[in-house]
Each structure stands twice: as C-alpha cells, then as structure tokens.
Amino acid sequence: MKELHSAELNEILEENNPEVLLEEMLPFEKLMMRYRCALMEIETKFKVLNEEFSLQYNRNPFESITSRIKNPISIINKVKRKGVELSLESIEQNIFDIAGVRIICSFPEDIYILANLLIQQDDIILIKKKDYIKNPKENGYRSLHLIVDVPIFLSSEKKHMKVEVQFRTIAMDFWASLDHKLKYKKNVQNPEKIALELKKCADVINQMDHRMQEIRNMIDFKGSAKRI
Ligand code: 0O2
C-alpha cells in the first residue's frame, strides 16, 4: 500500500486555495484540539498520583511522562492501512492512538499499579488493553497499552475522547527507541542480524527489570504494605 509523504501533502496544499483549505480544515483542527485537551486530562491524573506518592510513600511511581498527537500524515496512513473511511467521524471511531501518552517507570510492578489506579477512576472507561509485557511481541517488544475513554469539558459540551496510554520501564523504552530506528531507517545492512540481536537484548532487559524489581522489593521489605 502506498504511504503518503509530506512532499505529497505540500503538493496538495499548493494546488488548492489556502483560504478554502483553511476553512475546510477547521473541523479537523477542532477535533485535534479536543484530543489535546484529553491529553491534558490524562497527564494531570498521573501528575496528581505522582504528587500523592511522593508525599505519602516518598517515591515516584514513574520517571517521566510524555505525550503526542499523531501527525496528519500518520493518521491518513493508518486510515488507509485499516481500510476504513477517510472522514472525521470515521477517524474518531476507528483510530484510537491519535492522542498518546507514554509513562516510563523504573520498575515493572509500578506499571500495573499505575494502570490500575487510572482504570479505577470513575470518569475513565477502559476500551482496550494490550499487555505486551505478559505477552511480548515476537521481536521482543514489551509495553502495556491501554485505550481509555476520558471526558473533556468544553464551554458548552462534554465530549468523550479516546487516548492511548503506553506504559514501559526505562529499559523497555531504551530498547523500543532503538527498535523504532530500525523500523524507520532505510537501507540498513543486515536487518535480520540486527533484529536477532535486538530480540536477545529484549530478553536480557526483561531479566534485568525483574532482578531490579526483586532488589527493590527486598529493600522495601519492612515497609512492603507501603508498596501499595
Ligand atoms: P508511534 O509513532 O509510536 O505512534 P490497533 O489495530 O490500532 O489496535 P496498532 O495501534 O496498530 O493496533 O498497534 P499496537 O500494537 O497497539 O501498537 C501501536 C504503537 O505501539 C506503535 O505506534 C508504537 O508506538 C508501539 N509499538 C508497537 N509495536 C512496536 C514494536 O515492535 N516496536 C516499537 N518500537 N514500538 C512498537 P506507531 O503508530 O507505530 O508509532
């Protein structure tokens, strides 16, 4: 299937009247604004949990949080890949990772603690869960993915938006960044050999994550009730 590239998008823009295009893009911009608001809601929820953990248990359950809105070209390419209609309504109904939040934790147990704390909140609806930690992908990819529905409150309406939340450890994230480079880099020599090496590294990383978790559990043993 042919992927759309930014040069092609520029051609479309140049061939059309910019004013008409801007007017036509307004509904799209409104939709993206709603996704940005949903990201703010989810980020705030995690920041609140971090504040509480810092004060109550003297530790942070995650190291960092980042978020992004999928760019228009990636949205169109995903619409094509999924074979769904290219309309705003269809995008909202079929593409669940337009708004994405990534939570990086030090320890695997914290991933599940945070995921459960999010899902338990009464304004959050869990739409889909993919546990690539318990069931890693064949290439070694590990992360916990949740698609959640979160309400946003605008001046005259309440909207339900979908956000993808990805949880990984620092080590899983390190691995995923390198794997991502392999996917997007063209003309890589020996891609099979690299993929095999990456798979081996993913297994080592998994063992290390669990050993680090065990060490932390031993350190925290006295206050294990506090590990929440
Ligand atoms: P980007 O730039 O990160 O957004 P769906 O049919 O929609 O449920 P989907 O979304 O195609 O399924 O697949 P899935 O498994 O839920 O994972 C989508 C995202 O997870 C990817 O987004 C990556 O961020 C990450 N991911 C999944 N598999 C891998 C992998 O093997 N390696 C790495 N590095 N990341 C992975 P995008 O859209 O590809 O990119």
CATH number of the CATH domain containing 66 = 3.30.460.10
Could you give the percent of the chain with pLDDT greater than 70? 86
Q: pLDDT value at position 191? A: 85
Distance CA 144, CA 134 (A): 9
Which segments in the chain show pLDDT lower than 50?
A: 224-225
**Is 175 touching ligand 1 by the criterion CB < 6 Å?**
no
Which of 91, 97, 142 to probe ligand 1 with, by most ligand atoms within 8 A of CB? 97
The helix, strand and coil proportions of the chain, stated in percent and rounded to the nearest 5, come to 60, 20, 25
pLDDT at site 170: 98
- 188 domain-assigned: no
Strand partners, 36: none
Residue type for 52, please?
E
Q: Please indicate, yes or no, if residue 133 is contained in any of the structural domains.
A: yes
What are 39's two structure tokens?
């990201």
The two beta strands, 64-69 and 144-153, are: unpaired
In a domain, residue 63? The reply is: yes
Is the minimum distance from the CB of 210 to ligand 1 under 6 angstroms? Answer: no
Instruction: Give residue 13's pLDDT.
Output: 67
Residue 199 lies in a domain: no
Residue 209 in any domain: the answer is no
CA distance 157 to 151: 10
Q: What's the CA gap between 35 and 151, in Å, rounded?
A: 11
Residue-wise pLDDT tens digits, 73-91? 999 999 999 999 989 999 9
Q: What is the DSSP string of 69-110?
A: E--HHHHHHHHHHHT---SHHHHHHH---SEEEEEEESSHHH
Q: Are 108 and 210 in contact (CB under 8 A)?
A: yes
Q: Give domain status of residue 206, yes or no.
A: no
Q: pLDDT tens digit string along 102-146?
A: 999 999 999 999 999 999 999 999 999 999 999 999 999 999 999
Catalytic positions: 164
- State which amino acid sits at residue 115: A
Report the number of distinct structural domains present in the chain: 1
| Residues 6+ positions from 9 with CB-CB distance below 8 Å | 72, 73
Residue 190 lies in a domain: no
The answer to whether the CB of 130 is under 6 A from ligand 1 is yes
Ligand 1 atom at minimal distance to the Cα of residue 128: 8
Is 131 a member of any domain?
yes
Residue type (1 letter), 101: V
Model pLDDT, residue 225: 45
Domain of residue 97 covers 6-171
Residue 26 φ/ψ, nearest 5 degrees: -55, -50
What is the C-alpha to C-alpha distance for residues 140 and 218, in angstroms, rounded to an integer? 28
